[in-house]
C-alpha cells in the first residue's frame, strides 16, 4: 500500500454517479485521515466494508457502538476505536438526517465545490486532511476536474 491511498488500492473506483463508491471512499478517507498507520486503516476499512458489508450509511448506522468498536479492533484500529466508532455513527446520522443518507444528496444541496467542501468539514471527525484525501478522487469524479 502506498502512502497515498487510492480507491484502487482498496479494489474499487470512485464514480461521481455511484453513491456506494462515494460512501466507500468517504469511509476510507475518514479512516486514513486519522493518525494511524495506512496498513491498519486499510485493514480496518476491509473489515468494515468487505467482511461486514458496511458500504452505506444505513448499514453502518445499524451497528451498535460496541459492534463498531469490535470491528475497528479487528482491523487493528484500536488506538481510537471508541471515538472513531462514535464519529462514524455521527457521520452516518448527519448523512441520513441532512442529505437523505447520500453523498450525492450533499452534492445536490451544495451551491458549488467550495460549498460542498464546507459541508464536509462540518461533519465531526472530518478535518482538512480527511477532506484532502476524499476530494483527491471524489473531486474529479463529482466536479469533472482536479482539486
Each of the 147 residues of the chain gets a pLDDT tens digit; together they read: 345 779 999 999 999 999 999 999 999 999 999 888 889 999 999 999 999 999 999 999 999 999 999 999 999 987 778 999 999 999 999 999 999 999 999 999 999 999 999 999 999 989 999 999 999 999 999 998 654
Domain residue limits, the chain: 15-142
Distances (CA, A) of 61 to 49, 67, 75, 121, 143: 13, 11, 18, 20, 28
If we measure between CA atoms, which residue out of 22, 26, 74, 30 comes closest to residue 48? 74
Cell of 33: 485521515
Check residue 44 and report its DSSP letter: H
Which has the closest alpha carbon to 10: 25, 26, 22?
A: 25
Secondary structure class of 125 (helix, strand, coil): coil
Enclosing H/E stretch for 115: helix 113-121
pLDDT of residue 123: 95
**Measured distance between the N- and C-terminal CA atoms of the chain, rounded to whole angstroms:** 23
In this prediction, residue 38 carries a pLDDT of 87
Q: Which pLDDT belongs to residue 145?
A: 65
Rounded to two decimals, the pTM is 0.93
Residues 39 and 52: their CA atoms lie apart, in Å, by 18
Residue-wise pLDDT tens digits, 107-123: 999 999 999 999 999 99
Indicate the CATH number for domain 15-142: 1.10.340.30
Amino acid at each position: 500500500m502506498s502512502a497515498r491511498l487510492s480507491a484502487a488500492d482498496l479494489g474499487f473506483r470512485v464514480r461521481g454517479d455511484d453513491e456506494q463508491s462515494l460512501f466507500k471512499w468517504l469511509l476510507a478517507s475518514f479512516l486514513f485521515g486519522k493518525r494511524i498507520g495506512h496498513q491498519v486503516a486499510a485493514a480496518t476499512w476491509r473489515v468494515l466494508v468487505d467482511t461486514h458489508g458496511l458500504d452505506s450509511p444505513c448499514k453502518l448506522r445499524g451497528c451498535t457502538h460496541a459492534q463498531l468498536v469490535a470491528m475497528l479492533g479487528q482491523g487493528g484500529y484500536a488506538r481510537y476505536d471508541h471515538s472513531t466508532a462514535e464519529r462514524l455513527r455521527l457521520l452516518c446520522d448527519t448523512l441520513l438526517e441532512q442529505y437523505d443518507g447520500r453523498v450525492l444528496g450533499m452534492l445536490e444541496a451544495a451551491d458549488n465545490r467550495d460549498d460542498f467542501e464546507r459541508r464536509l468539514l462540518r461533519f465531526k471527525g472530518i478535518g482538512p486532511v480527511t477532506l484532502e484525501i476524499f476530494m483527491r478522487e471524489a473531486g474529479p469524479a463529482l466536479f469533472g476536474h482536479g482539486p
